[in-house]
Amino acid sequence: MPEIFEFDFMIRALIGGSMVAILAPAFGLFIVLRRLSLIADTLSHVALMGVAIGFVTSIFPTFVALIATTSSAAGIEQLRSRGKLPGDAALAVFLYSSLAIAVIVISKSSGFNADLFGYLFGTVLSINDRDLWLIAVLLIVVILFVVSFYAELTQSAFDQDLAHTSGVRVTATNLALAILTGATVTASMRVVGVLMVGALIVIPVLAALRLARGFRTALVLAIVFGLLSVWVGLTVAFYADLAAGGSIVLTTVAMLILSEVLGRIRDSLPSRRTLVNPADDSSSASVQELDTAGE
């Protein structure tokens, strides 16, 4: 048996990391297609604020961060959907205000300590049973949500106006997605830290979109890339004595580079239809066409 499996903390890290690797890209795909990739970064700063308040008030920091991220996610979605603020402006307001509060709270307390530093950069090797149960419950909720509202999530991700006219409860679906995204950010911060959680949500999705030729394929590939990133990253961190969070994020970047290389090789072959980059305004139509024709 490999040495890595001889330690209980590594087994817990692999289990917790694997669950987060399924959670993060599953939501990340819908977020990226809606061009709200920065919501993960925004909510990670909100989570930092919650953690800082938790330490000062001696309340379980993860619980405070969960309340902060889910309520902020709901607030961002309400402002965006009602047209009170553009999506990027709403994200900016919450990002900078939460970061300012976090800085003030930390400066008025004892400052940085080992526990707070762990939340910033990840403490996957110290995941306990309570963390595993929290992530497991959230994973079950996410799976049920995605399975139950897959059609609604897909339609609203591509064209919200068309989804609304088709009878999809866009506002309610987007609100639930935003709240669960906030919860996912909170759960993920134990693995890669609040400063890098956005990478695990977004980068595996970008790698999957480069190679996939349909929406369902992209969803599966994003989860596969997330799992591989966690497994490889933790293994490298264990044997090379590196920071686990940083190793995982750099592995996701390596996956993205590899997917780009493979994509270029495939593009040089006889013409085939592929899922286009979500940054292209024509991506919605292309994805719908591919799903209709190929899956």
pLDDT digits (tens, 9 = 90+) for 133-155: 888 888 888 888 888 877 877 77
Take residue 34 and report the two structure tokens written for it.
């809606």
Give the model's pLDDT for residue 258: 92
Q: Can you give the pTM of this predicted structure?
A: 0.77
CA dihedral sign, ordered 291, 293, 294, 295 = positive
- Do the beta carbons of residue 72 and residue 94 sit within 8 Å? yes
Give the model's pLDDT for residue 76: 82
For residue 228, pLDDT over 90 is answered with yes
- Do the beta carbons of residue 24 and residue 201 sit within 8 Å? yes
Q: What percent of the chain has pLDDT over 90?
A: 9
Alpha-carbon span 158 to 170, nearest angstrom: 12
Residue 193: helix, strand or coil by DSSP? coil
Which is nearest to 65 in space by CA: 131, 133, 137, 140? 131
Alpha-carbon span 14 to 230, nearest angstrom: 8
Alpha-helical regions (H) of the chain: 8-33, 38-57, 61-81, 87-108, 114-121, 129-148, 150-158, 160-165, 170-192, 197-211, 215-240, 244-267, 283-294
For residue 164, pLDDT over 80 is answered with no
Average the pLDDT over 13-37 and give the result. 82
User: Which one-letter DSSP state was computed for residue 277?
Assistant: P
Give the model's pLDDT for residue 111: 57
Q: Tokens 């090797």 map to which residue?
A: 125
The residue segments making up the domain with residue 231 are 3-294
Take residue 236 and report the two structure tokens written for it.
């490298």
Residue 267: helix, strand or coil by DSSP? helix
Take residue 42 and report the two structure tokens written for it.
């925004």
Give the model's pLDDT for residue 253: 93
Is the model more confident about 98 or about 193? Answer: 98
As a whole number, the mean pLDDT across the chain is: 78
Helices 150-158 and 8-33: angle between axes, nearest 10 degrees: 50
Alpha-carbon span 1 to 4, nearest angstrom: 8
Q: What percent of the chain has pLDDT over 70?
A: 81
Take residue 232 and report the two structure tokens written for it.
């490889």
Number of domains in the chain: 1
Instruction: Pick the most confident of 87-91, 160-164, 225-229.
Output: 225-229
Alpha-carbon span 156 to 138, nearest angstrom: 22
Give the model's pLDDT for residue 281: 46
Q: Tokens 């072959």 map to which residue?
A: 269
Alpha-carbon span 29 to 157, nearest angstrom: 9
Give the model's pLDDT for residue 224: 92
Q: Tokens 């956005």 map to which residue?
A: 198
Residue pLDDT, tens place only, 99-111: 898 888 877 776 5
The CATH number given to whatever domain includes residue 68 is 1.10.3470.10
User: Which one-letter DSSP state was computed for residue 84?
Assistant: S
For residue 261, pLDDT over 80 is answered with yes
Take residue 290 and report the two structure tokens written for it.
């591919």
Give the model's pLDDT for residue 151: 80
What distance separates the 2 farthest-apart alpha carbons in the chain? Answer: 62
Is the model more confident about 295 or about 38? Answer: 38
For residue 285, pLDDT over 50 is answered with no
Give the model's pLDDT for residue 139: 84
For residue 122, pLDDT over 70 is answered with no
Which is nearest to 218 in space by CA: 160, 250, 259? 259
- Do the beta carbons of residue 201 and residue 40 sit within 8 Å? yes
Give the model's pLDDT for residue 1: 60
